[in-house]
Amino acid sequence: MSSSAAVLFPSLLALALAPACDRTPEAKANATPPPPTAASVARAEKPAEAPKASSYQLAGSARVVAIGDIHGDLNALRHALKLAGAIDSDDRWIGGKELTVVQTGDLLDRGDQDREVLDVIEKLENDAKAAGSAFIVLNGNHELMNSSFDFRYVTHKSFSSFDEYRGQAGAFEGRMPDEQRGRAAALMPGGPYALKLAPHLTVARVGDSLFAHGGVLPAHIEYGLDRLNSEASAFLSGKLRALPPALSAEDSPVWTRAYGAPEVDDATCEILGRVLKEVGAKRLIVGHTVQKGGITSSCQERVFRIDVGLSAYYGDNPAQVLEITPKGTRVLSVSTPGSTGKTSQSAGPALHSSP
């Protein structure tokens, strides 16, 4: 990293040097003053030079399979993709034109293999495109945290996997622990691995399903879903000086837990109905909040929560993914915890929604 980069990202450097926060897992770092909410940002004037938007609306396919948080566990990624029918035992993409896979973010942190996960994801995205399939990966809060130098949930082994980039982190010398400098250089805005994340969307409608890591609220639609995607990409690619509050606030699409509770109240379901009507979708699919008993739904199956703690960090949980077809939705689950790829489409909870 050059000295000019230190000038370009002063607020990020300040965060990198701040003391670690000991709040509960996935809590946000303390900020003074607190950031504006997404709702307040929605009422702000649009910047004069807003990044060019890319559409959040994507075509679906005969089968759409949704995968939740991976958190640095390459085996978890493989098990989920095998369960989806996307790859074989040699990591070769076998999904045909009828398959679209959507992963809802949080590839990074907690596990030791997040660099390997990013490398495999990049290969499979290209392989899927070549095969006429689609592998759509969203950015979660942990991707944006890492590019903001928030390394509270990074393991020692995962730090060391980026050691080859230490030489590009001269501006961090003496400012952060030596073991962190390689990761900082790789994942800083405009860094080689941040550039791998930059093309990923933050919110996507795939066919008749809306996807986000945390969720979508009316304020996000008012702000602009394409604008959210464009600004996240611009930040990761180093074209935007700082992460906008609309992407960093507690009620942003990557942080909100409005839909994550075991029981979603009627008022929240009414808000969800407004969101789905506005974007022309039948359901919202989110990760972010671990569902200890497997994939769950609320609001008459208009929201599905698919973070089932796939990473070994959360224990030996059976892999589950959500399949969406014109006939409705169902959970695909491995037959038993610890299974290495044998699947049973009738095992575990089954969810069925109207087409």
User: What helix, strand, coil percent values describe the chain, rounded to 5?
Assistant: 35, 15, 50
Q: Return the DSSP state at 11.
A: H
Distance CA 93, CA 115 (A): 20
Concatenated DSSP letters of 268-299: HHHHHHHHHHHHT-SEEEE-SS--TTS-EEET
Active-site residue, selected from the candidate residues 71, 79, 142, 288:
142
Q: Are strands 296-298 and 320-325 parallel, antiparallel or unpaired?
A: unpaired
Beta strand residue intervals within the chain, DSSP E: 57-58, 63-67, 99-103, 134-137, 203-206, 209-212, 283-286, 296-298, 303-305, 320-325, 328-334, 343-344
Q: Is-catalytic flag, 288?
A: no
Distance CA 203, CA 66 (A): 14
Distance CA 339, CA 317 (A): 10
Concatenated DSSP letters of 147-200: HTT--TT--HHHHHTTGGGGGG-GGGTTTS-GGGHHHHHHHSTTSHHHHHHTTS
Q: Could you give the residue numbers annotated as active site?
A: 142
